[in-house]
Amino acid sequence: MQLAASGLRMPIGADIILHQQPDPEAVLLDGERLGRMFADTAVRFKTPLAMVRMDLELERNLLLRSLGIREDEIPKFHFSGGPSEGIRSIIESGFKAQLTPRLKAQLDAIRYVSGCPGLFPVGMSIGPFSLMTKLLADPISAVAMAGSGLVAEDDPEVNLMEKLLQVCSEILQVTIGAQLEAGAKAVLIAEPAANKVFLSPRQISKGSDIFERYVLEYHRRIKNLIEGHDALYMLHDCGELTDYMVEKLAGLKPALLSLGSSRPLWEVEPMVPKDVVLFGNLPSKQFFSDNIITVEQVKQTACEIITRMKALDHPFILGSECDVIMVPGREREITEKVQAFMEVVCG
């Protein structure tokens, strides 16, 4: 709240700084260098929020490696049957034997940042629903069938989807818990698949509880975990959202709610309680192209967001719609536009 009131602006920008390193892949495996990089990102963008890089493959890789899936099969792997019962003991062990090098480095990085005076370490994790969607070949149909009233006992696809969602939730309790133990003072949960592509607004408007059952319920568990460690639960969803979805996500009362750019921030503002800081929502996924958005247009959009949000008197942080990902060959376009919204003086 204080940061929002101070007029903070920032991108979710660790990937920008990572790609300014000579050896990004090596940095991702070295906790201390990674931690220094997160700290540098915060300093570079003049924010005390030292956010971990958004890597939505970390937990998926952890699960699949733990199950013994071959390294070269992991990228395209989808479950056709439920994970073996062995997964329970692996989760219960806290993945101690199987922690992936990247995840281990991320935890070490959080430890490093937590030792930096003036910085507020913000962990990052994929949400359970989005993680589940990455494990199935066709998660949309499975969720749609559940939304049409089929239950796990009737339909093997619904059964598998629900089983995997439960496993995802359990895994994330462990991995988010580990980030909190490492010193994260907040964790941003990225749940981009909780949107109208994966969850039918038509079914929801007809009374289906799929959004409640498959998204919100699992987020309440995560929120309890995070707040149980006296840390802040933050939420990011850059998918296309209906009013119902925005209201329900805002109703989880995250300390910070980051939305993609599918809706102007001032349009969703009335659906968000005043004690939830809104974050965003410059169209940073388009920053790579001057044909799509120019530096001038970024400045104009930034000023419009600032002016309109101030008029609504809602706490907000001007930022990117998502993590700003470096597109090879387009570094200049991206960094210029990030710089532009960080520095623009609105008249």
Q: Which two tokens stand for residue 187?
A: 């964790």
Q: Which of 61, 66, 100, 200 binds other proteins (CB under 8 A)?
A: 200
Residue 203 beta carbon to other proteins: minimum distance, rounded to whole angstroms: 7
Helix orientation angle between 58-66 and 101-114, rounded to the nearest 10 degrees = 130
| 209 contributes a contact to other proteins by CB under 8 A | no
Six-digit token pair at 306? 């600032």
Q: Would you state the structure tokens that stand for residue 63, as one six-digit string?
A: 């699960």
CB of 84 to other proteins, least distance (A): 24
Output the smallest distance, CB 291 to other proteins, in A.
Answer: 4
How far apart are the C-alpha atoms of 250 and 285, rounded to whole Å? 23
- The string over 7-16, giving b where at least 16 C-beta atoms fall within 10 Å of a residue's C-beta and e elsewhere, is ebbbbbbbbb
Task: State the minimum distance, in angstroms, from the CB of residue 318 to other proteins.
Answer: 21
* Rounded Cα gap, residues 224 and 216, in angstroms: 12
Q: Are strands 316-323 and 49-51 parallel, antiparallel or unpaired?
A: unpaired
User: Is residue 258 helix, strand or coil?
Assistant: strand
- Applying CB under 8 A, which part among 95-103, 133-141, 183-191, 312-320 lies near other proteins? 133-141
Taking the least distance from each CB to other proteins, the nearer of 140 and 271 is 140
Q: Which two tokens stand for residue 160?
A: 């598998």
Query: Using CB under 8 A, which of 43, 87, 306, 327 touches other proteins?
Result: 327
d(CA 240, CA 159): 26
Q: Which of 38, 198, 316, 341 binds other proteins (CB under 8 A)?
A: 198
Q: CA 217, CA 66: separation in Å to the nearest integer? A: 26
Residue 197 CB, shortest distance to other proteins, in Å, is 5
Residue found under tokens 């958004």? 54
| Interaction of residue 149 with other proteins, rule CB under 8 A | no
Sequence letter at residue 209: D
Nearer to other proteins, 84 or 141 (CB): 141
24 lies in the site for other proteins, by CB under 8 A: no
- Within 293-322, the residues that bind other proteins by CB under 8 A are none
Question: Which member of 68, 117, 207, 329 binds other proteins (CB under 8 A)?
Answer: 329
Kindly state the smallest distance separating residue 196's Cβ from other proteins, in Å.
6
Q: Which residues bind other proteins (CB under 8 A)?
A: 75-76, 138, 140-141, 143-145, 147-148, 196-203, 285-286, 288-289, 291-292, 325-329
